[in-house]
Structure 1
């Protein structure tokens, strides 16, 4: 590697299958390349590798999805070898087990370490705080919300000179109501069997207990019979919980009114089907990207009043917040939104999109992350 080569940055994460961390990795790789850096990503691979390489980044396949101490040690050796061979100046770790490998590799090579603290990271088991602490050991620690920044300060004592708050962002060109052709919405409406003329309540998100699908099911039993709800998201990893939801839907007499429709490949079109988009998580979200995606699509959002959405949903202005795990409060808020005149809902949706464009775009997230890299180079 010649001294004149552009600086190289290596992002490290378990895999490139799907999810917010993975999407963020591709978005930052895109920004690195546009800024003239050489972009590398190391992971165990997955369907998004092709999309990453199409951007011009290089992917290195390593078993970074392992949590075994021996596997972490071996991955550290591989990362160090890559760093030396490619003159990697910064390692950017996005998950705990790979971050331990990246930390060891950075120490062995003199590369700088950036970590992004993506979650609240449960500490229920002995030793978990130590295991989690690697995400606070970067030369710079990126928190994805003010909520996470406060957690990092309190839990790990990270000083402000190392801490940077960079909220997640949406691509405002992709999540734009004007960019979605009507036929895209029509195909989904037909595929999901949505009854015309009846209001649609939508909860997008992985089907798992803490995401609050059961809270919305209970809320729907309190709402007028013309309302229909769609639970949009992959539930393959939690088949028992899906069956539990279906049983409860039947017990409440909600068959036909509440449906699990599975994964949506066209999220912007799916969101345009909704009159109200619900975030019902019962545990604190580190950020809550689905909230700003819905707001960017000018949808009215009702969100749990905890974690990241307390920063992105201004109650009564860009959405509404309700106590988590409270079906009656959720039903009341949904009912109030559905009772609004269509033009009033449209005005609220426009305010929500304006707030996203002002503070939560992909371009802002990319620029702020590049600024962190430049601090260290």
Structure 2
């Protein structure tokens, strides 16, 4: 079996990581894995697992280039004997759909996000992701979104959640040592409760909600955790500055750390007592919440989107109303009042939930099963 995945680039992100994980599974099963993409920082990872990059301008939305890409993909399908084309993003999906239909091969899509659909034209543009011979959703939330937005029946959609490498996020002695080095580099206080919020600094990820929650705890004279914002601003300096102003407004300079990007998230999680995912817009899946759970941390998430499927309220963490700093403050206070043993029980329940439902191995086997069923 030869499978061609199409995606705009391989710089960073969940869809990009999943592309490489499926390429790895294909190669390990004795198949061929091709990826049409502009490439990027993660392309070395694709090569390392035995996948092959076909460098094409797949990020474009230019109609003429889309047509040219379709012609090139059609030729590639016939030249290499490709059996399945799997699209993971809208613009390249239009080229891939045209090529797959012309070459009479199976077409698969994975719907990775909610996508903006405020106009009829945008809804039509998005609809390509619902036109596969098999349509995959990366959470039940996204499945329901496809049903509502495109009129597909739930039975026509296969839910395959994103996967976490649970081995990588197991907090071993070596991971703890790396975490101690990180804590030293970040100058984290060793005698305070640490709440880690891992996300790039962008408004919808909810950093302002978390800072506001700390501000309300401080204003009420309650204990305040150390909030560690782990993530770069990717040039969004105005948002970083807004976070800084809110920190100053509440006098939280000794309570909020902004570390920038971190490549070693297992070590980062090992420094914390709890993780936060207070996104104000719904997450398609909730990868950072799943990774934190895999690391054995209780997690507080906003109660919407795919994160609701990751965290079992009161068992593996807590779910709070989106965009509600008062509710988040109260939940943080409740978390801090738990003793260490109770938090460990909650964290281990979270890790077990991830191992049962959201592993990379499950993602890979389920996707290859879809491929196999299409070719029967």
User: Is 1:59 aligned to 2:71, yes or no?
Assistant: no
- Tell me the equivalent position of 1:281: 279
Q: Say if 2:25 is the partner of 1:31.
A: yes
Tell me, yes or no, if the aligned pair for 2:176 and 2:270 is still in contact at 8 Å: no
- Could you tell me which of 161, 174, 177 is aligned with 1:183? 177
**TM alignment of 1:278-357, pairs within 5 A:** 278-357=276-355
Q: 1:125 to 1:157 in 2, by over 3 A?
A: closer
Matching of residue 150 in structure 1 with residue 131 in structure 2: no
Q: Which residue of the other structure, out of 110, 115, 120, is the alignment partner of 1:121?
A: 115
Give the drift of 1:162.
Answer: 3.2
Q: Which position in structure 1 is the counterpart of 2:81?
A: 87
Query: Which residue of the other structure, out of 2, 6, 23, is the alignment partner of 1:8?
Result: 2
Q: Which moved more, 1:156-165 or 1:204-213?
A: 156-165
Residue of structure 2 equivalent to 1:210: 204
For residue 78 of structure 1, what is the aligned residue in structure 2? 72
Three-state SS of the structure 1 residue aligned to 2:346 is helix
The Cα of 1:125 is off from its aligned counterpart by 3.8
Mapped partners of 1:108, 1:301: distance in 2: 47
Equivalent position of 1:173 in the other structure:
167
Q: How far has the Cα of 1:270 moved from its partner? A: 0.5
Counterparts of 1:180 and 1:226 in 2: how far apart (Å)?
30
User: Is it true that 1:40 corresponds to 2:34 in the alignment?
Assistant: yes
User: What SS does the corresponding residue of 1:183 show, helix, strand or coil?
Assistant: helix
Counterpart position of 1:246: 244
Aligned equivalent of 2:368: 370
- The offset of 1:257, in angstroms, is 1.1
Q: Pick from 263, 266, 270 the counterpart of residue 272 of structure 1.
A: 270
The 2-side partners of 1:359 and 1:141 are apart by 20
The answer as to whether partners of 1:180 and 1:268 remain within 8 angstroms in 2 is no
Partner of 1:88: helix, strand, or coil? coil
Aligned residues: 371
Structure 2 segments unaligned to the other structure (5+ residues): none
Question: After superposition, what is the alpha-carbon deviation per residue over 1:290-335, rounded to whole angstroms, capped at 9, x for unaligned?
Answer: 1110000010100000011111111101110000000010011011
Q: Is the 8 A contact 1:214 1:245 kept in 2?
A: yes
Greater CA deviation, 16-25 or 183-192?
A: 183-192
1:104 aligns to what? 98
Q: Is the 8 A contact 1:288 1:309 kept in 2?
A: yes
Query: Equivalent residue for 1:4?
Result: none
- Normalised by the length of structure 1, the TM-score is 0.96
Conserved 8 A contact 1:139-1:162: no
Task: Report the CA distance between 1:286 and its aligned residue.
Answer: 0.9
Rounded Cα–Cα distance in structure 1 between residues aligned with 2:163 and 2:236: 28
SS at match of 2:118: coil
SS in 1 for 2:115: coil
- Say which SS state the counterpart of residue 287 (structure 1) adopts: coil
Structure 1 vs Structure 2 CA RMSD: 1.2
Verify the 8 A CA contact 2:66 2:95 in the aligned structure 1: yes
The alpha-carbon deviation at position 126 of structure 1 amounts to 4.4
Q: Distance in 2 between matches of 1:316 and 1:92?
A: 38
Whole-Å separation in 2 of the counterparts to 1:161 and 1:335: 42
Looking at structure 1, the residues matched to 310 and 138 of structure 2 have their Cα atoms a distance apart, in angstroms, of 12
* CA distance 1:29–1:213, shift in 2 (3 Å): same
Contact 2:175 2:270 (C-alpha < 8 Å) held by counterparts: no
Superposed displacement of residue 81, structure 1: 1.4
